Structure 1
Amino acid sequence: MTTLHIVRQSAFTTNDFYQCLQLLGNNDCVVFTDDGCYNLQHHLIDTIHSDNSKNIQLMALSSHAKARAITISPELCTEIEMSALVSLTFNNDRVITWQ
């Protein structure tokens, strides 16, 4: 059962992203929105890239990252639009919003 994790808060201010990492399962997807885009610059992001045995997909909403002057590195995660996020909500078994 795959889960879409929508992370809306920064790990610089809350522990939501850390809690999300504890629940990641095989083939889950993490999408950073709102201030969650700041997590692309947080050291916790390295825990996913250092051991991606669970095949976690990382994505960030393009417009939200740009509004926060965050450049999305294609090696780090995939840049998506809102329409792709809507599709992901239908293509995953569960959706958890971390806010």
Structure 2
Amino acid sequence: MSTLHVLSHSPFTDSRLDSCLRICGAEDAILLCGDGAYGLQNAALQGKGVKVFVLAEDSHARNLPLPDWADSVDYPGFVQLCVDYDKVNTWL
């Protein structure tokens, strides 16, 4: 069963991203939004083999370049991801 993991907290202030990466399966994906977009600077995401998305508005607001291993989505794309995955887990 596939899960979309939504992370909105900076990986520099807590360990949510690291915890998420430990439980992500091959069918899962991560959506970075808000300060979670800073996760694009985390090299661990690149080598993990998990599909990574970032909310375009948040990466642009933080002037973060989009690495080739991540995809940018707008708000309608965010909604579509929530539909495409079996479960959505928001890391509050």
* Superposition TM-score, scaled by structure 2 size: 0.91
The CA distance in 1 between the partners of 2:48 and 2:80, in whole Å, is: 27
Other-structure match for 1:80? 73
Q: What do you get for the CA RMSD once the two structures are aligned?
A: 1.2
Which residues of structure 2 form unaligned runs of 5+? none
Which residues of structure 1 form unaligned runs of 5+? none
Other-structure match for 1:69? 63
The CA distance in 2 between the partners of 1:77 and 1:13, in whole Å, is: 22
Q: Does 1:95 align with 2:88?
A: yes
The CA distance in 1 between the partners of 2:11 and 2:24, in whole Å, is: 16
SS in 2 for 1:79: strand
Where do 1:12-91 residues align within 5 Å?
A: 12-42=12-42, 46-52=43-49, 56-73=50-67, 75-91=68-84
Number of equivalenced pairs: 92
Letter in 2 for 1:57: K
The CA distance in 1 between the partners of 2:38 and 2:76, in whole Å, is: 21
The CA distance in 2 between the partners of 1:39 and 1:91, in whole Å, is: 22
Following superposition, the deviation at residue 70 of structure 1 comes to 1.1
The CA distance in 1 between the partners of 2:16 and 2:47, in whole Å, is: 20
The CA distance in 2 between the partners of 1:66 and 1:17, in whole Å, is: 20
Aligned in 2, Cα 1:41/1:51: closer, same or farther, shift over 3 Å?
closer
Letter in 1 for 2:70: C
Identity of matched residues, %:
27
The CA distance in 1 between the partners of 2:44 and 2:63, in whole Å, is: 23
